């Protein structure tokens, strides 16, 4: 086996990182296209079921069943990701979670807006905002831990 110079190893690592970033971008674009298509299908299917049953099936129940199915599909998709793509995909997930944190902070602070407008119901918004804030924060922290552990596998062992 041929020994690589540090420059050659760095160039190979850069090429691998570029390929992983390109694959992550392609996966993100495919996921966005699939999400858009799934939303259109869900809206159409909900309208058809609602019309066919004469309104007997609530659209909320129909959308809830689609959400539950999406959880299972997402679970199997995530567990089939190869280790080489895991770190770039985790960074994209952390970016999405950071946007969720901003929205959750806005929901937690909704009481000030409701006081001005005179409407009630801010407790529900604050509660859901707090839950979203906690879950997104756990996701971000866990993502950094997993990414750190994945990167540690590539460090040279001393001793």
| Token code pair at residue 140 | 């971000």
Q: How far apart are the first and last CA of the chain?
A: 22
Please check whether residues 65 and 13 belong to one and the same domain: yes
Please check whether residues 56 and 9 belong to one and the same domain: yes
pLDDT digits (tens, 9 = 90+) for 39-52: 787 778 777 777 77
- Sole residue written with tokens 């066919």: 52
| Token code pair at residue 61 | 């129940």
How large is the average pLDDT for residues 85-104? 78
Give me the pLDDT at residue 53, please.
72
Contacts of residue 85, defined as CB under 8 A and 6 or more positions apart, other chains included, come to 20, 23, 24, 27
**Residue from 152, 148, 15, 131 nearest 94 by CA:** 148
> Positive or negative, the Cα torsion across 122, 125, 127, 130?
negative
Please check whether residues 73 and 104 belong to one and the same domain: no
Give me the pLDDT at residue 58, please.
73
Count: domains in the chain: 2
Q: Which domain holds residue 144?
A: 83-159
Please check whether residues 50 and 112 belong to one and the same domain: no
- Residues 131 and 156 sit within 8 Å (Cβ to Cβ): no
pTM (2 decimals)? 0.45
Please check whether residues 39 and 72 belong to one and the same domain: yes
């Amino acid at each position: 086996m041929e020994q690589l110079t540090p420059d050659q190893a760095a160039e190979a690592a850069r090429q691998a990182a570029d390929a992983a970033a390109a694959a992550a971008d392609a996966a993100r674009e495919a996921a966005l296209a699939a999400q858009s298509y799934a939303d259109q299908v869900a809206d159409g299917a909900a309208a058809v079921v609602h019309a066919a049953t004469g309104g007997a099936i609530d659209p909320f129940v129909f959308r809830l069943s689609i959400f539950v199915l999406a959880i299972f599909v997402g679970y199997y998709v995530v567990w089939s990701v190869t280790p080489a793509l895991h770190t770039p995909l985790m960074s994209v997930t952390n970016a999405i979670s950071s946007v969720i944190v901003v929205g959750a902070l806005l929901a937690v602070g909704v009481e000030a807006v409701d006081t001005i407008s005179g409407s009630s119901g801010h407790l529900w918004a604050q509660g859901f905002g707090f839950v979203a804030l906690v879950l997104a924060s756990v996701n971000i922290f866990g993502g950094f831990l997993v990414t750190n552990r994945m990167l540690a596998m590539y460090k040279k062992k001393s001793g």
